[in-house]
Structure 1
């Protein structure tokens, strides 16, 4: 949902105040085109903003959203692949999706279009999080302006969203503790996830709302009481990518890194190089000795565990003190350009400077994936490809840098499956 918000300022149904419904992927199994949390808005006139599957199921979802606006209640639709029924709506990729559909403003605490448009203002790249209830027994959402410091146990809004009459009751305290253990890491990490909580006895349930299930669903929802399902979407300010060295390779990497959403800083100690117009597109250009600049940024608290450092200077007098500083920090990625011969010399120098073998193991050198890259543009693709692979590994996915045509199994690895059918019930209640 957060990805759609910047477009709401220009989307005509939002501008003219039409009724809308939001359809969101809340469960995924096998190979699916879009991940958990992907949303699509549907207006009362059938206009669409966003996409859930690249075209496989959108038509059926639009129809379900229109019906939900007519009924005034939330719905869940299940889509899979049916080789037997050529006319069934499903995913040709063979995956399975569970879609939650909710008319905006239908629940007492629900999202409203005018509020979403207000949040999609000029500061739409700032920190923000949404926690939405997406099970059959509740609805609504809580907007969190500062997810990094949010405390579950101090939010009356979240307690009400979970159906708690009082946080102080024993059952309420247990639910809040369980919610905090799962919600807060997602919020502070800027991640999306579905949190499932066992409803405690005495919990005030939300209003029962209609459900609908697509005809190609093999089975319905699991029997018995449904857990409280909270969909978390958290957005932190853009992660920083620090490029050290002003040259042809950094000029190519700069826009490529910005496409991945990084806030890019170019740093070089030589004013004549850093001031070139081709680096004007950087979010920040700094003329300073690289290791001193990095140490100063760390001391000022402007470096965190999402920060990436790409050392492209290829000059030992800059590289060695810079890498020594970088490998002493908790950074997401540290890469250095150079040949294998340069790398061996670099390692010897770093070991002599006191860098441990464990810290050296975090160094991506030579930088980038082995794509046969030669030109600066190709090297930029190689580096950004390694950044994507590194981020995916950090998120828990098993990633190997190989051609998709040589692999087997699903293209997209789903780390948490939440399809509400017995054969896919892999996430236990808390």
Structure 2
């Protein structure tokens, strides 16, 4: 949704007919996850994608119909080898796609949703996708403190609000059933952070890659000469300050948590050690440290001497990155990004040709407990 939001909002403001397609449920193989979106504009242009190509053309045609007649539809694409007229699904499995009109009358909440996403405020949208016709397409917006649209869904409001806030805490989207209706709850938590401490070799490339991966990138270095927006065009924020002080302040403000990553690229123990002491006290998704094996051993000795529990050092990925054989800054950034993805998604970091089972994103155990249907 984030990548198509500007186009969608522009069409909405122009008052022209557009349509939004969302993957609301999958089973079996699926190239894109639940929540993937595609929009078709009034000029027949398309942004985003929901399947990597195999059903996008069929959904495009359906979206043109929905934009024209204003009637939302839920459509299932099933890989049935016995149906010669079925849309090709080389990945197999089933894909449920909800297509809805987007306009001032059909989606009045869109500007509020766009503002929340742009301002990095947590927001979830619960949309009725399967129910009697008069209820399909009805929705409510849920934030941590407010609910918009509950009047039209009075019978299921309490359930949806509770489930939406559970899903919002983990940035997870899922179907929720209640009161004879199925709702798709799409959540948009603020993008997880990638905090790059230091401006050493590869830091600028890592900032670019972090933005590409959908993270809110912050670069922090105590030297004003090096910590500049010009040197780090990929960063959303460039902070001049001591890394440990920055981490401590962000933690107190509640802006660092289980979805965030910190990469220490300072190359200096006098800044790395204090920063790592703070970082190890936080429930981060990933903590990586650049440096040779000798410098890693030195850092660990200093941390233990500073009172850090030796068992906590196992959380440090150092030397940072996967062994890809890369040498230049872009290749180093890719190796770090790959290790970060594996850590967050629970991947093995082995070639897929050597791994059996699902090849797409895994769901972390703690998320599974929160996303079970009520």
What range describes the TM-score normalised by the shorter chain of this pair? 0.7 to 0.9
Rounded to whole Å, the distance in 1 between the matches of 2:36 and 2:234 is 30
Map 1:293-312 → 2, pairs under 5 A: 293-312=246-265
> 2:205: which partner in 1?
252
Match of 1:132 among 110, 127, 141: 127
SS of 1:192's partner is coil
1:6 aligns with 2:6: yes
SS of 1:134's partner is strand
SS of 1:321's partner is helix
> Cα RMSD over matched residues?
3.3
> 1:194: which partner in 2?
174
Map 1:144-183 → 2, pairs under 5 A: 144=142, 147=143, 149-150=144-145, 155=147, 157-158=149-150, 160-161=152-153, 163-164=154-155, 176=158, 178-183=159-164
By relative contact order (CA 8 Å, sep 6+), the higher-ranking structure is 1
Rounded to whole Å, the distance in 2 between the matches of 1:19 and 1:253 is 40
> 1:282: which partner in 2?
235
Map 1:379-398 → 2, pairs under 5 A: 379-393=332-346
1:404 aligns with 2:352: yes
> 2:301: which partner in 1?
348
Query: Which protein has the larger Cα radius of gyration, Structure 1 or Structure 2?
Result: 1
> 1:59: which partner in 2?
57
Rounded to whole Å, the distance in 2 between the matches of 1:230 and 1:359 is 42
Deviations 1:61-109 (A, max 9, x none): 2343455566654332221223344442131122320112333469x9x
Rounded to whole Å, the distance in 1 between the matches of 2:197 and 2:362 is 35
Please tell me whether the aligned partners of residues 141 and 149 of structure 2 are also in contact (alpha carbons under 8 angstroms): no
1:184 aligns with 2:184: no
* Pair 1:390–1:9, CA change in 2 (3 A): same
Query: Does 344-353 or 265-274 show the bigger shift?
Result: 265-274
> 1:422: which partner in 2?
none
Rounded to whole Å, the distance in 2 between the matches of 1:135 and 1:185 is 22
SS of 1:297's partner is helix
C-alpha deviation, 1:349, in angstroms: 2.3
Deviations 1:112-160 (A, max 9, x none): 4xx536754797353243221212333212234xx3x236xxx473363
* Pair 1:59–1:123, CA change in 2 (3 A): closer
* Pair 1:318–1:124, CA change in 2 (3 A): closer
Between Structure 1 and Structure 2, how many residues are aligned? 364
* Pair 1:409–1:247, CA change in 2 (3 A): same
> 1:203: which partner in 2?
none
Please tell me whether the aligned partners of residues 203 and 265 of structure 2 are also in contact (alpha carbons under 8 angstroms): yes
SS of 1:278's partner is coil
Please tell me whether the aligned partners of residues 22 and 102 of structure 1 are also in contact (alpha carbons under 8 angstroms): yes
* Pair 1:322–1:95, CA change in 2 (3 A): same
> 2:38: which partner in 1?
40
SS of 1:251's partner is helix
* Pair 1:85–1:233, CA change in 2 (3 A): closer
C-alpha deviation, 1:253, in angstroms: 1.4
Rounded to whole Å, the distance in 2 between the matches of 1:381 and 1:16 is 40
> 2:244: which partner in 1?
291
Question: TM-score, normalised to structure 1's length?
Answer: 0.73
